[in-house]
């Protein structure tokens, strides 16, 4: 190494052979690039702000078998899991699974006519959702802040009750309001898989980049009115007995000691859709690589 006119000059001792480098390039054409991509995948996934969420709380329902918006007897356990992506902006994105049970019973009604109707149901719910969270305050400034969310979900349900002998019986196969029967062509059988629109609000307590805690209340607007297997009017018990058997007529009309004379009279209210909601705590932990 020597100094030439104030400039530092380094003499290269090793000559580069272009033909050799081209051979080196072509030596691993198949396995080299895929290996590099595989090595990059963890950085692409876990290098971002991915959070896992565990949810625990309660669920309830409002519909044809409820007259009060909130009743403690109707609250049942619910839990779920989310994968959330923190965009670094005011919007976050998440996908999740929720598991819950909802139900209601006319015996809890205040009106005597609804008590005498004597209907009840229970159903388990499995829900797959995709939602966007909107932060109402800047999370870089505030450690606690409210947020809103909305999205789209698909859920599965299957309402059941217990017959007069106490045996668990699923209601959809019985067509208690004539759904799916040729005698009532305007009443289509309802699907046990339905779409719904989840929306709600929450409040987040952010402690560190490692974990945070949220309280959330989320409603589900349903596109079906048969979550409780009750929607429209009574149909002929003779037709039900003929088409679906005596169990169908037994569970379609459950008034005790009152002869059936209500064909065509309201059994439910088809103008008001059913809905269910979750409320509870979410514990989130960082899945990003250190």
> Is 10 part of any domain?
no
Give 249's contacts (C-beta < 8 A, 6+ positions apart). 237, 238, 240, 241
Shared-domain flag, residues 129 and 177 = no
The range of the structural domain enclosing residue 174 comes to 165-188+233-266
Share of the chain above pLDDT 90, in %: 69
Shared-domain flag, residues 242 and 100 = no
pTM of the model: 0.80
Shared-domain flag, residues 217 and 238 = no
CATH number, domain of 211, equals 2.40.160.20
- Per the structure, how many domains does the chain have? 2
At residue 14 the predicted structure's pLDDT band, cuts being 50, 70 and 90, is: very low
> Is 12 part of any domain?
no
Shared-domain flag, residues 218 and 148 = yes
> Is 15 part of any domain?
no
Shared-domain flag, residues 255 and 276 = no
- Looking at per-residue confidence, does 229 or 11 come out higher? 229
> Is 146 part of any domain?
yes
Secondary structure E strands in the chain: 2-4, 7-9, 49-62, 76-86, 91-105, 120-135, 144-156, 160-162, 168-170, 193-206, 211-222, 275-286
Give 289's contacts (C-beta < 8 A, 6+ positions apart). 42, 43, 46, 47
Shared-domain flag, residues 76 and 203 = yes
Shared-domain flag, residues 143 and 242 = no
Amino acid 43: pLDDT:
45
> Is 42 part of any domain?
no
Is residue 209 scored above 90 in pLDDT? no
Shared-domain flag, residues 198 and 184 = no
Shared-domain flag, residues 146 and 245 = no
Shared-domain flag, residues 117 and 135 = yes
């Amino acid at each position: 190494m020597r100094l030439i006119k104030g400039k530092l000059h380094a003499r290269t001792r090793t000559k580069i052979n272009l033909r050799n480098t081209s051979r080196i390039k072509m030596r691993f054409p198949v396995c080299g690039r895929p290996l590099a991509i595989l090595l990059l995948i963890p950085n692409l996934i876990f290098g971002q702000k991915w959070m896992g969420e565990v949810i625990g709380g309660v669920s309830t329902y409002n519909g044809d078998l409820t007259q009060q918006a909130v009743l403690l007897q109707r609250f049942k356990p619910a839990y779920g899991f989310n994968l959330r992506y923190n965009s670094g902006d005011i919007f976050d994105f998440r996908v999740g699974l929720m598991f819950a049970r909802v139900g209601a019973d006319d015996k809890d009604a205040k009106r005597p006519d609804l008590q005498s109707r004597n209907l009840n149901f229970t159903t388990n719910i499995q829900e797959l959702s995709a939602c966007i969270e909107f932060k109402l305050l800047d999370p870089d400034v505030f450690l606690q802040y409210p947020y809103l969310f909305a999205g789209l979900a698909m859920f599965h349900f299957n309402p059941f009750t217990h017959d007069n002998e106490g045996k668990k019986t699923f209601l959809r196969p019985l067509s208690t309001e004539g759904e799916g029967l040729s005698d009532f062509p305007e009443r289509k059988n309802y699907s046990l898989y339905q779409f719904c629109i989840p929306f709600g609000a929450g409040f987040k307590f952010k402690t560190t980049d490692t974990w945070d805690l949220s309280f959330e209340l989320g409603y589900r607007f349903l596109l079906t009115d048969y979550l409780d297997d009750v929607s429209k009017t009574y149909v002929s018990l003779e037709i039900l007995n003929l088409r679906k058997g005596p169990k169908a007529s037994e569970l379609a009309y459950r008034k005790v000691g009152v002869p059936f004379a209500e064909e065509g009279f309201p059994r439910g209210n088809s103008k008001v859709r059913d809905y269910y909601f979750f409320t509870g705590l979410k514990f989130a932990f960082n899945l990003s690589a250190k």
